[in-house]
Every structure is written in structure tokens, then in C-alpha cells.
Amino acid sequence: MSDQVLIRIEDVSRIFPVPGGEFAALKKINATINKGCFTILKGRSGSGKTTLMNIVGGLDAPSSGKVFIEDCEISSLSEKERENLRRKDFGFVFQSVSLIPSLNAYQNVEFSMRLAGKKIDAGTAKRVRDCLKMVGLGNRMTHMPAELSGGEQQRVAIARAIAHKPRVIFADEPTAELDSAMAASVTELFKTMAEKEGITVLMTTHDVGLMDAADSIIELESGERINA
């Protein structure tokens, strides 16, 4: 395995029971993702991209196949072990921003540091401020979520996801509720995070207008990978 490879997906399938039989959401998916790479999981609704992201992110387990983060086979970990991995090594950004409404932008980002087990001191406080500045919200730190636009809330969510310096950020349709200009801006932010922070980013989208920002693309259709 190349020293540059962070994630390996080997023959991953996911089968869900349905009335009268089974549904194959994923069919023997293989892929590698390099460290610090901004990768887009492309596909229409129902293609399996969110299912694959959930498996790689330790939120679900494959029915068969394996997922490795470097030498760690996360698909064989217990739920408690996967929870620890998610909290310390992963960051998540979802379509629904889900900021804590009673906390301001700064406090929302700081809360993620606490969840990751970081000691809150002068160093972590500086990291929180720096992350909000990186996403263009250095002058909005004390604003409550209700005082921020949809795009600004998503930027807080990105700052929250990167604050504890995760190895991987998983972003599931983070631009779906944004207009095209804001979607492009948020996507460029992910690319910047990969380049400047060295964080590997895996983002799902069906928006073909965002593909040029990606370092690599994994395209799915009906649960199968359709690009090499």
C-alpha cells in the first residue's frame, strides 16, 4: 500500500432487508483515497453514496467487505471503538447543519473540541478562533445561529468539524440547501481545508457544477462504482 493512501475500501457491499427480500445498496465497491485529498462521492439520489460514506465514517458496517484507515480495519471494530474513532479522528458536516441554537458560533465550535476530549485552554481557544477566521467568520464569533444566514451556519459547521484536527472530514450533501454561488464557496472551503490543513475530505453531492474542485471523484450508480 502506498504511504499516501489513507482510506482503502475493499469489496464493500451493503444489503438491507426489505419486504419480500433484500435490497443491495452497495455492490462490491473498491476505492482508495489519499491523505489530504478532496474526494467527491458523486451520484444521483439512491445511488448509494450516503450509504458508502456512512460505512467509511464508521456510522454503519458493511454486510461484506472491509474498510481500512491506514492499517486499522474499522469495519471490524466494535460500536464503542467506532464511536471513539468518530469522536477523535473524524469530523462530520451534514446537509442539516444542526448547530446548537443556544450557543453562539464560537461556543458551537468549542463544543466539538470538548467532545473530542480536548482540554480547553489558551491553545484550544486560539484554535477555535483561527478556525472561524479560516471560514470567514472572524467577526461573527458571538452571533447566535438564528442571527446567521444558511451559508454562514454551514461555515460554522465546517469550523466545528475541523477544530479538533481530524484525519478525515465527511460531508454529506453539505451544499444541498445553498444557492449555487454559496455552494461553490463552501466547496472551495473544503478544498482549502484539504490543502492547508492536510485533512482528507470526502463529500457527497449530485451537483455536477462542483466537480472541478475535487482532487478525485468516486461515481456511483445503483450501488455500483462506474468510474475507475
CA gap 183, 68 in Å, rounded: 30
HSE-CB of 107 using CA atoms within 13 angstroms: 10
pLDDT tens sequence across 179-213 = 888 888 888 888 988 888 889 999 999 888 899 99
Q: Stretch 47-65: mean pLDDT, rounded?
A: 95
Question: Residue ranges of the alpha helices (H) in the chain?
Answer: 49-56, 79-89, 105-115, 122-134, 150-162, 180-192
The three cell numbers locating residue 157: 459547521
Structural domain count, the chain: 1
pLDDT tens sequence across 76-100 = 899 999 999 998 899 999 877 789 9
- 3-class SS at 45? coil
Q: Which CATH number covers residue 164?
A: 3.40.50.300
High-pLDDT (> 70) share of the chain, %: 99
How many residues in total does the chain contain? 228
Q: Is 90 exceeded by the pLDDT of residue 59?
A: yes
pLDDT tens sequence across 101-151 = 999 999 999 998 888 888 889 998 999 999 999 888 999 999 999 999 988
Question: Are the C-beta atoms of residues 90 and 7 closer than 8 Å to each other?
Answer: no
CA gap 112, 107 in Å, rounded: 9
Most distant CA atoms of the chain, gap in Å: 58
Q: Is 60 exceeded by the pLDDT of residue 1?
A: no
pLDDT tens sequence across 105-119 = 999 999 988 888 888
Full residue range of the structural domain in which residue 170 is found: 5-225
What is residue 2's predicted lDDT score, i.e. its pLDDT? 55
37-41, 133-137, 161-165 — most confident range: 37-41
Please report how the helices 150-162 and 122-134 are oriented relative to each other, as an axis angle in degrees rounded to 10: 140
- Report the 10 Å Cβ neighbour count for 196: 10
Q: Stretch 56-61: mean pLDDT, rounded?
A: 94
The model's pTM is: 0.89
